Amino acid sequence: MTQANGETAQGVLAGLSENLAAAVETAAVSVVRVEARRGNPSSGIVWTADGHVLTADHTVEREEEIPVGLGDGRTAQGRLVARDPGSDLALLKIEASDLVPAARASDDEVKIGHIVLSIGRPGAAGVMASLGIVSALGGQWRTSRGGQLDRFVRTDATLYPGFSGGPLVDAAGRVVGVNSWTLSQGAGLAIPVGLVAQIADALTQGGVKRAYLGVATQAVALPAAVRAKLGTQQESGVMLVGVEADGPAEKSGLLIGDVLVTINGNPLNTADDLLAQLSGAQTGQQAAVKLIRGGEVRDLPVTLGQRS
């Protein structure tokens, strides 16, 4: 490499370095420290100028008088507005002036290969950042907390302790996703900002409404005779091994030992199939369940309950 080429390369790297530092500075003013769990602070994002802050639900162990450390050194007191365990998001409200809400990218701007930064404010020392790229953009996934989310962003940017609830940002410092170590179990999955915005809107209205049955299940094989009665080649169903007392399933007449075969005509081969159907259902709606009880095929209308 010639001296001129070397100087050019150094200049490019220096420019990139300055741009990334500027991105961190841009994002940092909207990244806060949340002390809602004793001895284990997390990060959060100033979402609105009037004091709504998003953070990781698994780190919120109290609902009132939550110290929130702001980017300018101030500490505000927060309270829990609502939480959504399935997406590991919680919405806090703080009383503070001159808040700067995080700038957001749109989901369709994010591409595989883009440089991204995970940003957190886990301690009093200030903001921290790690560098990576968008390694994948995916569709539906089952979170470790039982939620069914429509899409995800995968990155190799390191999540240090206390980064949960903080943003994944692009090279301009705009939020492209929200990080959660617990949600992805270290797999580097972030919730895309468009989906985060939908959940945040629901949380401001009091919570995310998720349909549920109140059952514990396991997959079981369907005998040939049962498949013949059903007129299907479906090889497995979902047996109820537990029914919550006074829950939607019990109120609708479902019993332990029932084997659910379809819901609204959609086959149920595994517990994940049932969860996927419930995640897209409206609370209070009636679902048509086909089941096996005592070797006989039955159709039962089931009213879905609400779990916030």
Residue with tokens 């109120």, as numbered in its chain: 251
Q: Is 164 a catalytic residue?
A: yes
> CA gyration radius for the chain?
23
Q: Is 61 left (phi over 0), alpha (psi -120 to 50) or beta?
A: alpha
Cα torsion through 131, 132, 138, 141, rounded to 10: -50
Residue 114 falls in the annotated catalytic set: no
**DSSP three-state, residue 220:** strand
Residue 75 neighbours by CB under 8 Å, 6+ apart: 67, 68, 69
Q: Which residues contact 257 (CB under 8 A, 6 or more apart)?
A: 239, 240, 293
CA–CA separation, 31 and 27 (whole Å): 7
Residue 52 contacts by C-beta under 8 Å, 6 or more apart in sequence?
A: 46, 81, 91, 92, 93, 200, 204
One-letter amino acid for residue 27 of the chain: A
DSSP label at residue 173: S
247: amino acid identity, one letter: G
Choose, from 58, 252, 258, 273, the residue flagged as catalytic: 58
Rounded distance between C-alpha atoms, residue 131 and residue 154, angstroms: 13
Q: Which of 165, 143, 190 is nearest to 56 (CA)?
A: 165
Alpha helices in 185-291 (DSSP H): 193-204, 224-230, 248-251, 271-279
Q: Single out the catalytic residue among 88, 170, 258, 273.
A: 88
Confirm whether 156 is a catalytic residue.
Answer: no
The dihedral through the CA atoms of 19, 22, 27, 32 has a sign that is positive
- Residue from 164, 180, 252, 279 carrying the catalytic annotation: 164
- Contact of 274 with 263, CB cutoff 8 Å: yes
Catalytic residues: 58, 88, 164
